[in-house]
Amino acid sequence: MAEGEAEWELCKENIQPLRQGRAISALHQALNQQQEGSSYAAIQQHKQAFESELRMYNGDDPLDVWDRYIRWTQQTYPQGGKESNLSVLLERAVMRFADEKSYYNDIRYVNLWIKFAENSTDPLDFYTYMHGQGIGIMQAAFYIAWSEEFEKRGNSKRADSIYQEGIKCGAEPCDKLQQYHKSFQARVSRQVMLNMADGVGEEESPEAELPQRTSLVDLKYRGKKKAVVPINRTGSSVSHHSRGLNLQLPATTHNGQNSRIMVFDENKAAAPGPFQPRPEQRMAPPVSRAKENELVPEKWTNVKMPQKSRYGDSVVVPPSKPNFQPYVEESDQPPAVTPCKINPAVNTVLSARKPSKEENPLERLQEQQQQQVAGQTHEQSMYCKELLFSGATEFSFEELRAERYRKKAAQEMEEKVTELRRVKDELRRQIEEKEKLLLEKSQETDAGHQAQDDVAESDAMDCLPGPSSMAHGSTIGFKVFDVSGASSSQTYPPEVYQDITSAETTTRLEMTMKKGAESKAVLSSMFGEGVSCQPSFEETPMAVTKPSARKPLCAILRPQGDELATGPSLQNDGLDGIEPLNEDAIIGSYRNKTLCHIPDDTCDFARAAQLASTPFSGGPSHRSCSNMESGMSEDLCTVTANTLKDIPNTMCAQPDFEAALRVKKLSPIQEASLEDALYSGSSASSSSLNGASCLRAINLSSKLELGHSDTAQTHKANIGETEMEDPTSENVRKQVLDKIDLSSIPNFHKKLGPLPDVNEHDVLSPGDEAFVILSGFIRSESYMVHFGQTESCENIVVKVDHHAIPWDFYINSHLRNRLGSDSHKYFSDQSRCFLYEDGCISLSWGHYQGTLQDCLVRSPLPENVAALLVIELLEMVRMMHSCHLVHGDLRPDTLLLRHREGCEQVESILGIVDFSHCLDLDLQCEVASVLRHPGAQAFLKQGVLSSSSSPYQIDLLGIAETAHILLEKRSMQLVLKDSEWELAGVLEVASRNHDDVWHKFFRKILNPGSQPSIVVLSELQQLMKKHFNHSIEDELEFIHEYSQCL
Amino acid sequence: MSSISEDRPKDGEDKQNNSAKKKTRTVFSRSQVYQLESTFDMKRYLSSSERACLASRIQRNSTTNTMTGSNEFKLNQGPEDSISAVKFSPSTAQFLLVSSWDSTVRLYDVGGNSMRMKYQHLAPVLDCAFYDPTHAWSGGLDMQLKTHDLNTDQDTIVGTHDAPIRCVEFCPEVNVMVTGSWDRSVRLWDPRTPCNAGTFTQPEKVYTLSVAGDRLIVGTAGRRVLVWDLRNMGYVQQRRESSLKYQTRCIRAFPNKQGYVLSSIEGRVAVEYLDPSLEVQKKKYAFKCHRLKENGIEQVYPVNAISFHSVHNTFATGGSDGFVNIWDPFNKKRLCQFHRYPTSIASLAFSNDGSTLAIASSYMQEQGDISHPEDAIFIRQVTDAETKPKST
């Protein structure tokens, strides 16, 4: 922070002042970006986005885009300069709406004009023009800017008359204008007083004494790319604005020497009478004279080489060189230029357009306007000129069209996604039914767990869109490999390639083994296909035809490295044991050529899938329950077959399907990226039937046209495995936290020894500070949360966890990192953790009076207070979701009410300290669904959540539940009506007039659809704020008093 | 446009006059083409009013039937969306490469009038080029540069730009592929490996580029023209400003490597020379073209395409008015103008031997996304009479 400020201080010279000021964060960012230069591309992209928005906009407020674009430019280019293109932008914007009278008194448009004027050398011209045209005459800002301009020039009489004029016209907001007027008058009178006191003839103004920027050094740009002026300030520079009247302006530049030149000031000399703005009859605004690099008539002998030599297209011929050596200050180096061999004389020849003919867009507009008035155009451009040139940069036809194409493509994609989601939902519902059925059954059998895994897997496979299901295909490939025990090391994403090849070797092994059992015809045909898929393995058929297949195989394998070479022997051992089962599945499949075309025969598929997803050792038990499973999987298969019926051959397990896939249906580019997946897929398919699912997955993904790289695939390949586990479980968290270095976070302490016993009223001193444990408020089997107080009487919350995983501490510190200063609003601003061998104690600072539940128990809440709490809750959850954290356990019991003293500045009353069920989706990015989350189980059972719901939805439901309890003091009952979830009963809210608001609230939060949770949350916030907006502060006050008296 | 009913009787009348005066044409029968050619031989030029009147009539007729001239035909199996570029094979006039907004690049057998092959990009393709007779390169909105082996029908992604790729060219002298993109860079690619051989930042978005010997001429937004030496890309050899007032649409270098022709969005073409010496620079000039006069207002069309005749150093220009003109840059004369094509000319390509001209008539949405005549590629056999400078 301190560094950033220092940096800002150093860059002061390079920051253009803005009327409304700058957001310090934006400024930091902009300055950083400048230094790094890495985000150049990002800025360009942003710019491009604005440019295309300017052109593609078809709403009814085109000024809005311009306004946002210009404000963004100002914030992003604090130093202004040519790079920002601001003057061009302002000019275009101002011109663009010059004919639209409806904008004339729009404050945004007026502000654009004012900015434009301020960027020019003679703003007064512009103000008079605006006044003449009637732009901004009803806006106080216009008069203020105008008058300030006069004031700056020391013409206080006119400045005053401008204010009066504004007040007379009734410019809005009136009080603002008056306030400015008053302070102006105060300044003037102070000035007069000062002058009288000092004597009018006073030579030296006080300002002149002050240290100044080194005089007569102009702010030359340094560096080739960035317009950055050097910092050679010798003292605090004096802003003219801050000094009010600027009569001393000339004096500031002359360092106290008496060689002063009298400057004729026409404003003073003229002593004008009461100013009356003349109605201007100009056709166009005055020509902007503030353009950079403009040729100003001057003496040629003094002329310097133009700065704009960067592109070599500045075409000023240097005048004959003066015959003396000009003194060059050491610090004054000419800007670096790309080496350029062109003789400048030649350069003039090369650029054909005469430099003297300065094309001014304003002049052009003037011409255009005149032409319009005269009603004659001689030429007509037969293209959409206004679109190409409407922004600050030009577009070509192709770029415009590309924008249109992108827009269309995005739209189509969206439609596709919604369609897919619909199908998915249907599928999911059916699967859930099956799952329920299965759950019931699983209570009866021991093998239930396994079956469920299977369901989950096929579920994930069917429901997840393209890439992940494709990835799933490869997971299965790996599993075959794993199972056969080729290598003890885990198959890990970075080694996919190797894994795939080893999976292939497995395949070949299996093939050779099958040989004995299978008819030769089938096998050879299979191999024929296999070869067509993997042309690099031509040796394989040879190996197969030999009676003793193993030896040649080993020979082939050898070059692939030690790990693989040792693999086969292990594999043989492993596979021999289960050969019958393996064969069974495969032979069965070959008899029934099309698996799912005959739904009765899908048990083969199911069995094969089981084979792939469960360890071989589980074979016997699998057999025992295969009846039930196959019944279920059968349904699954038919379901998927139905939904995917638009894909031909989807469920076909025969290798000829691969051949079909190889036929040029896909684009080559997709083919290339899918090749790896295909290999693994094909190998899996020939080894066991689950290849069908692989291929289907691939086909599905190809339908989605999502080309994915290997890494993406393999990364996601883990989904299948991790999803089996509760993402909040100890193991998962341990793995996750292993990835990060907790000890680098301050206030993390590791302690030897076991977790001390913690009881109420104990005094603990694990660190250098002791604290006393007060009442506990959350108790669970593995953790307890107490209030506490430190020696220095700071209030804390102590969480004693019997798992040695500092999750809460991690989340807390993470929240602070990610949210920055916003985090104290709802979260603890300080935390500490002591990690013991068998547990941990986390402290988080904050003064709370108890849980929301306690409060509810004691007395009912008025509706508006409840609403307020809900708004806060929404905001809090939104903040968490914005840093990809899911709380997972929102209930009145886990929400804390802040103590009054705990928050002097009324910011919030809610707080949250317990993160036991929290998910960090940045770290646990493989958690894509709510399936195993403990907080979701109840909802899953009800069907409100489905196995593929986003984890964020848990929190939405948590909010809904909490809100319902706040209102009704009982948990909510949900019913499904018209495919939307609704509250079962009627809300008995205190005031009837908000009935529909709550109704809307619950409908939205229970049925978020495909919207991201952050959007849902902010929409809900808006909804609530709209209806319960009567002064939040008062309400907060009230709620504090209310909670106080409890 | 005047109404049809009003025009019709006049039409017939014109035809009669035509036969008498040997002046205009309506339908392109063999005899008429012959007549036309002889007319051109004789007159070389029609006054603009005659031309406009002729054009409007032809357009009405031609969109419905026509193009039946023996020297011209339409390619079958054309792309499904607008055509972005047409390029002839470097070795023969038989093969034509066509990139399109339907995300494909197609290879046509011009002789057999059939599509030989097509391959796909992820997004619309903006340009394509032959590296050798068996390798095509292409790039577009998907930002990927692809090379496709036309023998084996396999493609390779060579690399990417940070923004859509606008142009792809091959430089045989240095044996390097050149791409220009809206990411303000030109990248060179070694076609043998294939791999990136350098990235060179340009001051603005690249709109067009052309190769003249070992020189690379890049036209960017902001009317800039940069001349690079492909053998020494350390610095820009020449930085120029377009001599035309409006946005640059196309730049093509003279086959004799001495200069280039630049066309702008507002009906103008400039002929420029690379040699910076004063005498040579004096020779450069610009002229107006692709403008139609209607009701006293001159309609100015973008000039989208230029293609040079490799033997005669003459060039064809195509504009959004649907006309194709062939120019003699040395005598500053127009050699001929073809009939009006259904819609804008998006791309032109002379075959290597100069015997054939491929004309892509395809609306480029220059007046917004509106309905328009069908996109098509016409293959026209050109004669020396149309392409050879007249010795004076």
What does the pLDDT read at residue A36?
Answer: 57
Suggest the residue from B127, B237, B247, B343 to mutate for an interface test with chain A (most A CBs closer than 10 A).
Answer: B247
Residue B392 lies in a domain: no
Q: Across residues A69-87, what is the average pLDDT?
A: 80
Task: Give yes or no: residues A878 and A1003 share one domain.
Answer: yes
Tokens of A861: 């809440």
What secondary structure letter does DSSP report for A208? Answer: H
B12 touches chain A (CB under 8 A): no
Report the DSSP beta bridge partners of residue A885.
Answer: A920
- What is the model's pLDDT at position A545? 38
What confidence score (pLDDT) does residue A302 get? 63
Which B positions 123-142 lie with beta carbon below 8 A of chain A? 123-124, 126, 141
For residues B197 and B143, state if they share a domain: yes
The per-residue pLDDT of chain B, averaged, comes to: 83
Average of per-residue pLDDT across B33-46? 58
Helix, strand, or coil here: B127?
strand
- Provide the pLDDT for residue A415: 94
Distances (CA, A) of B197 to A688, B185, B192, B208: 46, 13, 11, 20
Q: Are residues A714 and A813 in the same domain?
A: no
The larger pLDDT score, comparing residue A201 to residue A867, is at A867
Cβ pair A313:B243 closer than 8 A: no
Question: Which CATH number belongs to the domain containing residue A995 in this structure?
Answer: 1.10.510.10
Q: What is the largest CA-CA distance in chain A?
A: 120
B210 shares a domain with B120: yes
Q: Which of residues 307-366 of B touch A (CB under 8 A)?
A: 320-321, 364-366
Smallest Cβ–Cβ distance between A313 and the set B141, B239, B367 belongs to B239
pLDDT of A77 higher than 50? yes
Residue A907 binned pLDDT confidence (cut-offs 50, 70, 90): low
Considering the domain architecture, whether residues A769 and A916 belong to the same structural domain is answered as yes
CA neighbours within 13 Å on the CB side: how many for A98? 19
Decide if B122 touches A, using CB distance below 8 A: yes
Write out chain A residues lying below 8 Å of B141, CB-based: 402, 405-406
Q: pLDDT tens digit string along A450-477?
A: 544 554 444 444 444 444 334 343 333 3
Minimum mean pLDDT range among A52-56, A196-200, A830-834: A196-200
Q: Are residues A746 and A673 in the same domain?
A: no
Which residues lie closer than 8 Å to A282 by C-beta, 6 or more apart? Answer: A129, A132
Domain range spanning residue A302? Answer: 298-321+334-352
Q: Are residues A856 and A972 in the same domain?
A: yes
Instruction: Note whether B85 and B347 are within 8 A (CB).
Output: yes
Mean pLDDT of the A991-1014 span: 79
- The segment with the largest mean pLDDT, out of A283-297, A317-331, A1007-1021, B112-126, is B112-126
Closest-CA distance, A411 to chain B, in angstroms, reads 15
How many domains does chain A divide into? 3
Q: Which domain holds residue B377?
A: 73-364+372-387
The answer to whether residue B70 neighbours chain A at the CB level (below 8 Å) is no
Q: ipTM value, please give it.
A: 0.80
In the structure, what pLDDT confidence band is assigned to residue B255 with cuts at 50, 70 and 90?
very high
Say whether B266 and A381 touch across the interface (CB within 8 A): yes
Does residue A283 have a pLDDT over 50?
yes
What is the pLDDT, as a whole number, of residue A1030?
56
Partners of A353 on chain B (C-beta within 8 Å) are: 241-243, 245
For residue A904, give every residue at least 6 positions away whose Cβ sits within 8 Å of its Cβ, in sequence order, or none.
Answer: none
**CB–CB contact A350 B240 (8 Å):** yes
B25 reaches A (C-beta below 8 A): no
Rg of chain A (C-alpha set): 38
- How far A413 CA sits from the closest chain B CA (Å)? 13
Q: Quick one: pLDDT at residue B45? A: 56
How many helices and strands, by DSSP H and E, does chain A display?
41, 15
Residue A14 one-letter amino acid: N
Judged by CB atoms closer than 8 Å, whether chains meet at B119 and A667 is answered as yes
Looking at the DSSP assignment, which residues form a beta bridge with residue B136?
B130, B148
Summarize the confidence of residues A632-638 as an average pLDDT.
Answer: 44
Residues A622 and A743 in one domain: no
B300 to chain A: which residues are within 8 Å by CB? 379-382
Asked if residue A691 belongs to a domain, the reply is yes
CB atoms closer than 10 angstroms to residue A304: 8
Within-domain flag for A662: yes
Q: Does residue B136 share a domain with residue B29?
A: no
Residues B56 and B86 in one domain: no
Asked if B125 and B272 sit in the same domain, the reply is yes
H helices within A199-295, ranges in order? Answer: 206-209, 266-270
Nearest residue on chain B to A352, alpha-carbon basis: B243
Within this chain, do residues B221 and B151 fall inside the same structural domain, yes or no?
yes
Q: Do B301 and A382 touch (CB under 8 A)?
A: yes
Same domain, B55 and B82: no
Sort out which chain A residues have CB atoms less than 8 A from B369's CB and list them: 404
pLDDT over 70 for what percent of chain A? Answer: 51
| Interface probe, candidates B168, B199, B201, B365, chain A, greatest A C-beta count within 10 A | B365
Number of domains chain B contains: 2
Domain end (from A722, A742, A772): A722
Lowest mean per-residue pLDDT among A167-181, A419-433, A765-779, A832-846: A765-779
Does residue B84 sit in the same domain as residue B211? yes
A717 and A749 fall within a common domain: no
Over the Cα atoms of chain B, what is R_g?
Answer: 21
Average pLDDT over residues A376-380: 70
pLDDT the model gives residue B181: 93
- A889 part of the active site: yes
Same domain, A695 and A760: no
Which residue out of A51, A381, A665, A671 would a mutagenesis test of the B interface target, given it has the greatest number of B Cβ atoms within 10 Å?
A: A381
pLDDT of residue A936: 76
- Reply yes or no on whether the pLDDT at A1044 is more than 70: no
Residue A242 has pLDDT above 60, yes or no: no
- For the beta carbon of residue B7, count every other beta carbon within 10 angstroms: 15
Last residue of a domain, one of B29, B45, B64: B64
Q: What per-residue confidence (pLDDT) applies to A264? A: 62
Given A160, A459, A604, A889, which residue is catalytic?
A889
Whether residue A339 is found in the same domain as residue A444 = no
**Mean pLDDT over residues A219-232, rounded?**
53
Averaged confidence pLDDT in chain A: 65
List the single range of A305-319, A430-444, A463-477 with lowest mean pLDDT. A463-477
Residues in A touching B162 (Cβ below 8 Å): 41
pTM value is: 0.49
Nearest to B300 among A339, A381, A384 (CB): A381
Cα–Cα nearest to A652, from A592, A582, A581: A592
Task: Tell me the average pLDDT across A924-938.
Answer: 74
B219/B258 same-domain check: yes
Nearest CA in chain B to A311: B239
Nearest to B119 among A343, A393, A668 (CB): A668
Cross-chain Cβ contact B122/A707 below 8 Å: yes
Residue A366 pLDDT level (bands cut at 50, 70, 90): low
**Strand A763-764 vs strand A748-750: parallel, antiparallel, or unpaired?**
unpaired
The answer on pLDDT for B4 being more than 90 is no
Q: A759 with A904, same domain?
A: yes
- Residue B232 touches partner A, C-beta closer than 8 Å: no
- Please answer yes or no on whether A382 and B240 come within 8 Å at the CB atom: no
Using an 8 Å Cβ cutoff, are A616 and A608 in contact? Answer: no
Write down which residue in A696, A722, A748 finishes a domain.
A722
Domain final position from B15, B44, B64? B64
Same domain, B142 and B255: yes
Do B127 and B84 fall within a single domain? yes
pLDDT at A221: 53
Cβ separation A350–B222 shorter than 8 A: no
pLDDT digits (tens, 9 = 90+) for A389-435: 777 788 888 888 898 888 889 999 999 999 999 999 999 999 999 99
Answer whether residue A292 is part of any domain.
no
**pLDDT classification of A833: cutoffs 50, 70, 90:** confident
Per-residue pLDDT at A219: 56
Sheet with B195-201, strands from edge to edge, namely: B165-171, B176-181, B185-190, B195-201
The DSSP-derived string for A741-779 is: -GGGSTTEEE--SPPPP--TT-EE-SSSS-EEEEEEEEE
State the smallest CA–CA distance between residue A463 and chain B in angstroms: 25
Chain B residues inside the 8 Å CB shell of A669: 120-122, 144, 146, 155, 157
Say if residue A814's pLDDT is above 90. no
Note whether B174 and B160 are within 8 A (CB).
no
* Chain A partners within 8 Å of B303 (Cβ): none
pLDDT band at A386 (very low <50, low <70, confident <90, very high): confident
- Residue B219 pLDDT: 94
Domain boundary among A704, A722, A740: A722
CATH of the domain at B165: 2.130.10.10
pLDDT grade for A979, boundaries at 50, 70 and 90? confident
Same domain, B30 and B85: no
